[in-house]
Amino acid sequence: MKKTVKSRILSVLLVSLMTGLLTACAGTGQPAEGQTGQAQQGEAAKGPITVGGKDFTEQHLLTKLTAIYLKEKGYDVSEASNMGSTVVRSALENGQIDLYWEYTGTALVVYQKQPVETDPDKAYEKVKEKDKENKLVWLNKANFNNTYAILMRQDKANELGIKTISDLAKYVNENQYALKFASNAEFYAREDGIKGLERKYDFSFPAKNVTKMDSGLLYNALKEKQVDVSVGFATDGRIKGFDLVALEDDQQFFPAYNGAPVIRQEVLDKHPELADLLNELADRLDTETMMKLNYSVDVEHKDESEVAREWLASEKLIN
């Protein structure tokens, strides 16, 4: 009798311990929020699938779009977001995540150490072919190019007659300390960032006129006239919302940065249907769409999950 009671107690303790461990493990990748997918309607979940993402609005949205979409298709989905570029790439290569959205230019220049490519199709084919060696599969590239952009306030650009980066370079060379420039740390350090830009256009911002700040602060700093010129991203909704203008890259310096889902070959082998599902998602996204989605979050301050779910429903990708 004593043995039976002890056995029961031990069983209860073991179940409690396992439940606690599973809960702790789940905390490393939060399940997609507010979903009523097929798996929650009684079907066995497919997966598990961990969707990764970087640490800025567009990536948060792409992570949410992918996680909600796959959850609705019956997958057991976790999210692992807010990672830096090299961190999320390492996480994919090491099997800590299963897929995430990457940009062709970042993969080409930063990970694969290849020369800059401004042609979107050529950049895509190069990274796709090269990453086969790493057992990573690039699915369809979306028709949005989130390349770097050099931004000014529309009124300031009009006042100075600056429409292109060549115009900006000429003005800086003639008025060395007149303009203040804002950059995030990554653009300041990368070869396809400020260093390469200055070489290409033959000008230089004086070091004391360059302010480094978090990516999320760049647009407000420009809007509030704390700086005169800033780096930004071409699909950011705040360009329109804050009456900013992206200067024409007339010498075609910036690489193509088309987004695409990148997935581990091992995961695709287990779930080959993911290719069609993710390609369908990628084929619906373009620059105008991403700017609207980003605008909804950054300017209208809507919840990322809500914005993602509403768009997926509008495209009839989910019910």
* Predicted pLDDT at 21: 35
Residues 6+ positions from 99 with CB-CB distance below 8 Å? 49, 50, 51, 52, 66, 92, 261, 262, 263, 264, 267, 274, 278
> Quick one: 156 and 213 in the same domain?
yes
What pairs with residue 79 in β-bridges? 30, 51
* Predicted pLDDT at 228: 98
* Predicted pLDDT at 44: 57
Give the count of domains, the chain: 2
> Quick one: 164 and 305 in the same domain?
no
**Whether 56 contacts 186, CB under 8 Å:** no
> Quick one: 95 and 166 in the same domain?
no
> Quick one: 137 and 41 in the same domain?
yes
Residue 1 lies in a domain: no
> Quick one: 276 and 140 in the same domain?
yes
Residue with tokens 């056995």: 7
Residue 229 lies in a domain: yes
> Quick one: 175 and 160 in the same domain?
yes
pTM for this one? 0.76
Q: How far is CA 31 from the centre of its chain?
A: 19
> Quick one: 44 and 140 in the same domain?
yes
CATH number of the domain that residue 222 is part of? 3.40.190.120
* Predicted pLDDT at 35: 42
> Quick one: 160 and 137 in the same domain?
no
The segments of the chain whose pLDDT lies below 70 read 1-44
> Quick one: 138 and 268 in the same domain?
yes
* Predicted pLDDT at 191: 72
Domain boundary among 246, 269, 292: 246
> Quick one: 154 and 139 in the same domain?
no
Range of the domain at 201: 148-246
